[in-house]
A and B are shown apart, each in its own frame.
Chain A
Amino acid sequence: MNARATRLALAVGAPLLALLAAFLLTSLVLIIAGDPVADVWDTILTVPEPRNMANIVNNATVLYLSGLAVAVGFRMNLFNIGVDGQYRIAAFVAAVVAGEAWLPGYLNTLLAIIVAILVGAAWAGIAAVLRATRGVSEVISTIMLNAISTFLVAFLLRQAAVREEGSNIIGTKQIPEGSRIPSFQLFGTPGTEVYGFLFVAILAGVLYWVVLNRTRFGFELRASGQSLTAGMASGINAKRMVVLALLISGGLAGLVGLPILFGDAYAYGTTFQSGLGFAGIAIALLGRNHPFGIALGALLFAFLDEQSNPLQILVDVSPDIVKITQGIIVLTVVIAYEVVRRYGVRLEQRRVAQALGTDTKAGVAA
């Protein structure tokens, strides 16, 4: 019982230690650069206004989906850097489909969502096939596919585009009103609208957990992710698992742009948010591929992004400072877990040694 409490304390202690270290290191950067440290933290660490809270939840929704997509790959020991390309091309095609409105109302929405999943999966599928048949590292192929998708989307956008009146921004056709996903007010006041897509994201998280932890497929995925040889020895088709994991990862990536598309932008244009895939990598790492952890990581990143916005105006410091914090957190979290793990192992050894009534190391060799 006591050992269990210690383990719990260590598990909670690690991330807190990591956050503290990240704040200290960021402060060090601020001090060296001669910026007002206290004012910066004062701005970032205030309780957000309801309006800001809604923004944080919205951004976290998007980041969460991105983190989930990356995490599926990680569980199979695959590194899908391509979430960035996959979500952009999927959001573009979904925007075209939804804009054309071949089906009425929410059927149109559903069709667009399915199309987005399929397109994301297909784009990741290229990397999957190259990996399974030709042994091309998915790290490299997805990086190449990211660049290719940038140019491909730019080209297709120019073919499908309509020009917004009085501006140079081009975009796809607007999604009809009846197919948009309604937002709800987080605190019941105007200005606190949160994407209805939030529920889809939560559902995706639950599905992720159930599939990975409660199905045979999930077991095989995790097993071959931890040891490919052990997996193969027990009859798991490794190539099939690689392809499936990347397809699922790509399918989830297809969802990443949709909250924005159906809840805010209603069209895919040149200004559509990019770079969400890379944030997803950090968040999946931060959440240790656990759906709940990823949610916390997404909220933390969204919180830092939102709270740093007024830095430039209020204290004349570039908001980019929080990117340093975010990067450091990714490192310190892992380091903290490692340090705590080593400490935990030592505690365990000592406890076992005591229980066995010996103090020699030989007693705990097993």
Chain B
Amino acid sequence: MSEVTLTQRQSTARTSRRFSPWWILIGLGVGLFLMSALSLVTGADDLASSGTWRATLIAAVPIALAGLGGLWSERSGIINIGLEGMMILGTYGAGFFGYHYGPWAGVVGAILLGVAGGLIHATATVVFGVDHIISGVAINIIAVGATQYLAAQTFSGLPGGGQTQSPRLGDVQSITIPPLSDALGAIEQQEIFFVSEVAAFLRAFVTDLSLLTILALALFVVTFYVLWRTAFGQRLRSCGENPLAAESLGVNVYKYKFIAVTTSGALAGLGGGFLAMVASSNYRDGQTGGRGYIGLAAMIFGNWRPGGLLMGSGLFGYTETLGLRQGGESVHALLLLIAVLLIVLAIWQWRRANKVAAAIAVGTALASAALYYSIDSVPGDFTRMAPYVTTLLVLAMASQRLRVPATIGKRYRRGSAG
């Protein structure tokens, strides 16, 4: 038994090293370099433009916030498939309060409605011991029904509003740092290999950056600090790893799980609010389009760690953006990148004497390359498929190294530690 705990602890230590901030920076650098090389080889010039990065940020933030919500909840041992519903509640909250009381009230409204969803989930799972997935599914259904019912009730008849959408909402402020933005823009124009791409990337962070985006990024730092650097966070995570041990040490497990799931709802709600107010300009039915689920996928991809989650959301947001912008050309270029990366993977697998995996990788690489040379542009339906396919591929390659919180999804009853 002690041996098992020891290996578990070692693997946790290893993963925490893998996703430290430096690794994220190095990963970003490598990614940017690959994209520069790719656009040089293929001539696809939208792969790493500042416009692409700005759109990526906007696409990634709602997913990242939903994922962050999932992180809080699942770290305390509660599976939260209801993120989607809490996000939907958030979009409505932003629509209703944002229209009547201004954009920042919209942000608060989004968070509050998300919290409401979180409280339902916490009550059902913690107090009544309902299966986490059942409760999540129920919340998703209730959220869809409630928002559509309320939208029809509160938005029809308003100027620009209707049965299925709210009137136009005011925007929360965006900030631009003009000298930096201009200077970086100038470097981007120069088209110097790699340097321009780095400039374009940085430019996205100083040009027209929504305050909500900054808030979202700050919440990642806060989450990391609170969950991994404070006693409170240690206790919260202990509820997900071993609630009985936590209870025997005097931790009020119910309380921590409640806090975690409520925070989860708040974050997912904020993600919904971002969708309604920053990513678009009003509430619409079905606006979330499954982003809550995708946030969950990004969180699993990120191994239940904030850094990894951020990378997962970035990857998803990036491929989604590529598909929506000059998708045919950009995704076509990605095919070449996939072929090259798979060849590298094949060599690595071959050296580890994993011949079947190597053969599969080579086969897929050849198929990808053949596809690249046989067509000039990828049809629109497939470019929009890119983020989902990427997620599947990445998970297929990474998923065996993941470590789930130990008692996730398990029912816990107070006093069962004896």
Instruction: Give A residues with C-beta under 8 Å from B.
Output: 29, 33, 35, 79, 81, 130, 134-137, 139-141, 143-148, 151-152, 154-155, 158, 278, 281-282, 285, 318, 320-328, 330-331, 334-335, 338-339
Contact of B141 among A136, A318, A330, A339 (CB under 8 A): A330
Total residue contacts A-B, CB cutoff 8 A: 137
Chain B 132-160, CB-CB to A under 8 Å as 1, else 0, gives 01110111111111101110110000000
Interface contact A322-B124, CB-CB below 8 Å:
no
Given contacts A320-B145, A322-B145, contact A140 B130 (CB under 8 A): no
A330 cross-chain contacts in B, Cβ below 8 A: 134, 137-138, 141
Contact at A334–B134, with CB atoms within 8 Å? Answer: yes
Known: A318-B153, A328-B142. A338 touches B129 (CB 8 A): yes
Q: List 25 A-B contacts (CB under 8 A).
A: A29-B146, A79-B133, A130-B392, A135-B400, A137-B399, A140-B395, A141-B392, A143-B290, A143-B293, A145-B392, A147-B388, A148-B392, A151-B381, A151-B384, A152-B385, A154-B381, A155-B381, A318-B153, A320-B144, A323-B146, A327-B142, A327-B145, A328-B138, A331-B124, A334-B130
- Among residues of A, the one whose C-beta sits closest to the C-beta of B400 is A135
Known: A140-B395, A282-B137, A323-B144. A147 touches B150 (CB 8 A): no
Q: Given the known A-B contacts A334-B131, A335-B124, are A155 and B137 also in contact in the complex, defined by CB atoms under 8 Å?
A: no
Decide if A147 touches B290 in the complex (CB within 8 Å): yes
The residue that A140 contacts in the complex, of B141, B296, B400, with Cβ under 8 A, is B296
List, in ascending order, chain B residues with CB within 8 A of A146's CB: 290
A324 CA / B117 CA spacing, docked (Å) = 13
The distance in angstroms between the C-alpha atoms of A324 and B89, with both chains bound, is 13
B378 to chain A, nearest CB (A): 11
Closest B residue, CB atoms, query A79: B133
User: How many whole Å from B140's CB to the nearest CB in chain A?
Assistant: 8
Whether, in the assembled complex, B166 has its beta carbon less than 8 Å from a beta carbon of chain A, the answer is: no
Q: Say yes or no: is B417 at the interface (Cβ < 8 Å to chain A).
A: no
Give the chain A neighbours of B388 by CB distance below 8 A.
144-145, 147-148
Whole-angstrom CA separation of A335 from B400 in the bound complex? 35
Q: Which residues of B contact A147 (CB under 8 A)?
A: 290, 385, 388
Would you call B145 and A326 a contact (CB within 8 A)? yes
B135 touches A331 (CB 8 A): yes
Establish whether residues A136 and B396, one from each chain, have CB atoms under 8 Å apart when the complex forms.
Answer: yes
Bound Cα distance from A141 to B296, whole angstroms = 11
Judging by beta carbons under 8 Å apart, are A151 and B382 in contact? yes
Contact of A136 among B131, B379, B395 (CB under 8 A): B395
B381 touches A327 (CB 8 A): no
A-B residue pairs, 9 tightest by C-beta? A323-B145, A327-B142, A327-B141, A155-B381, A318-B152, A320-B148, A330-B138, A324-B145, A320-B149
Q: Measured between C-beta atoms, what is the minimum distance from B142 to chain A in Å?
A: 3
Chain B residues with CB under 8 A of A79: 133
Inter-chain contacts of B396 with A (CB < 8 A)? 130, 134, 136
With A151-B382, A334-B130, A338-B128 known to touch, is A136 a contact of B399 (CB < 8 Å)? yes
Q: CA separation between A339 and B130, bound complex, in Å? A: 10
Which residues of chain A are within 8 angstroms of B402 by Cβ–Cβ distance?
A: 135
Shortest distance in angstroms between B17's beta carbon and chain A's nearest beta carbon? 22
Task: With both chains docked as a complex, state the minimum distance between the C-beta of B161 and any C-beta of chain A, in angstroms.
Answer: 14
> Taking the nearest CB of chain A, how far is it from the CB of B249, in angstroms?
26
B349 at the A interface (CB under 8 A)? no
User: Of residues 80 to 118 in B, which have CB atoms within 8 Å of A's CB atoms?
Assistant: 81
A339–B124 Cα distance when bound, in Å, is 12
Say yes or no: is B49 at the interface (Cβ < 8 Å to chain A): no
User: Would A285 and B392 be within 8 Å (CB), given that A143-B294, A152-B381, A318-B148 are in contact?
Assistant: no
Whether the Cβ atoms of A137 and B141 lie closer than 8 Å is no
Q: Smallest CB-CB separation from A127: which chain B residue?
A: B392
Closest residue on chain A to residue B387 by CB atoms: A147
Q: Complex formed: what's the CA distance from A308 to B244 in Å?
A: 47
Q: Is the CB of A335 within 8 A of B130?
A: yes
CA distance A320 to B88 in the complex (A): 15
Contact A143 B297 (CB under 8 A): yes
Given contacts A143-B293, A147-B385, A155-B382, contact A326 B153 (CB under 8 A): no
- The residue of chain A having its C-beta at the shortest distance from the C-beta of B389 within the complex is A148
Q: Which of A146, A147, A282 has the most CB of B within 10 A?
A: A147
CB neighbours of B313 from chain A (8 A): none
Residues of B with C-beta under 8 A to A137: 300, 399
A282 close to B141 (CB less than 8 A): yes
Give B181 Cβ to nearest chain A Cβ, in Å: 35
Decide yes or no whether B76 CB sits under 8 A from chain A: no
Bound Cα distance A147, B81 (Å): 17
Selected from B81, B135, B379, the residue in CB contact (under 8 A) with A139 is B81
- Give the complex CA separation of A330 and B135 in angstroms: 8
Q: Does B163 contact A (CB under 8 A)?
A: yes
A330 and B85 alpha carbons, distance in the complex (Å) = 15
Q: Which residue of A lies closest to B152 (CB)?
A: A318
Contact string against A for B residues 285-312, beta-carbon threshold 8 Å, 1 for contact and 0 otherwise? 0000010011011001000000000000
Q: Which of B152, B300, B381 is most buried by chain A, counting CB atoms within 10 A of its CB?
A: B381
Closest chain-B Cβ to A125's Cβ sits at a distance in Å of 14
Q: A33-B150, A136-B392, A318-B149 are in contact. List 18 more A-B contacts (CB 8 A).
A: A79-B133, A130-B396, A135-B402, A136-B396, A140-B297, A143-B290, A144-B392, A145-B388, A151-B385, A285-B134, A285-B137, A318-B153, A320-B145, A320-B148, A323-B144, A324-B146, A325-B145, A327-B145
Residues of B within 8 A of A33 (CB): 149-150, 153
For residue B268, give the distance in angstroms from its CB to the closest CB of chain A.
16
CB-CB < 8 A to B140: which residues of A? 278, 327
B145: which of A154, A281, A321 is its contact (CB, 8 Å)? A321
Contact of A327 among B81, B138, B389 (CB under 8 A): B138
